[in-house]
Amino acid sequence: MSTSQKVAVLVGSLRAGSFNRRAALALAALAPEGMELEIVEIGQIPLYNQDLDDSPPQAWLAFREKVKAADAVLFVTPEYNRSVPGVLKNAIDVGSRPYGQSVWSGKPGAVMSVAPGALGAFGANHHLRQSMVFLNVPMMQQPEAYVGGAANLFDDKGALTNESTRKFFENFLTAFSAWIKVHAVNQASP
């Protein structure tokens, strides 16, 4: 891994006014020195179909390359029906295939779930962790990031306005940076 930490950010919502995209942009703006967060778009990725593994769509290849080039991955997601949105699950599936060539394996990860409700998308956060553990992604355990009340955290332009949330985001990113450093050493080991 280079001295700079390149983090691929996957936003689980396609909605134009998405609180999760706003949170991802706020996180990118608050990233500590040496950490670069880049949103990797997932809305254009065709649905995973194993029949296409021999001749994958260009969107699959481009997505896989962006994730492979990153040192770590950060998921920022809402909750749909107590789980992750289908668009995010599809991106996870596309990145995990073909079998034995997963772009996720060994890559340090973290998740922040954001919702207008009080639970902060707790169910999606934990379902996502379960999938990523299976894919050999060491997921940061603390601090947990369930961001509730999202409708009150941003102004009409999408800027983060809540100071305690800003501080939480900064602490989350500091912890994630340390997590990446620990697991980068493990990734480099045979």
Which residue matches tokens 């999760």? 20
For residue 186, name the pLDDT band (cuts at 50, 70, 90). Answer: low
**pLDDT band at residue 188 using 50, 70 and 90 as cut-offs:** low
- State pTM to two decimals: 0.93
Cα gap 179→137, rounded to integer Å: 12
| CB environment 43-56: b (16+ within 10 A), e (fewer) | eebeebeeeeeeeb
Who wins on pLDDT, 71 or 119?
A: 71
Using the predicted structure, report yes or no on whether residue 4 has a pLDDT greater than 80.
yes
* Alpha helical stretches, state H, the chain: 19-30, 58-69, 86-96, 122-134, 163-188
Residue 81 binned pLDDT confidence (cut-offs 50, 70, 90): confident
d(CA 83, CA 88): 10
Phi-psi map region of 81: left, alpha, beta (phi>0 left; psi -120 to 50 alpha): left
Average pLDDT, stretch 171-184? 96
Domain boundaries, the chain: 5-188
Question: What local confidence, expressed as pLDDT, does residue 120 receive?
Answer: 75
Residue 65 has what pLDDT?
98
Percentage of the chain lying above the pLDDT 90 cut = 82
CATH of domain 5-188: 3.40.50.360
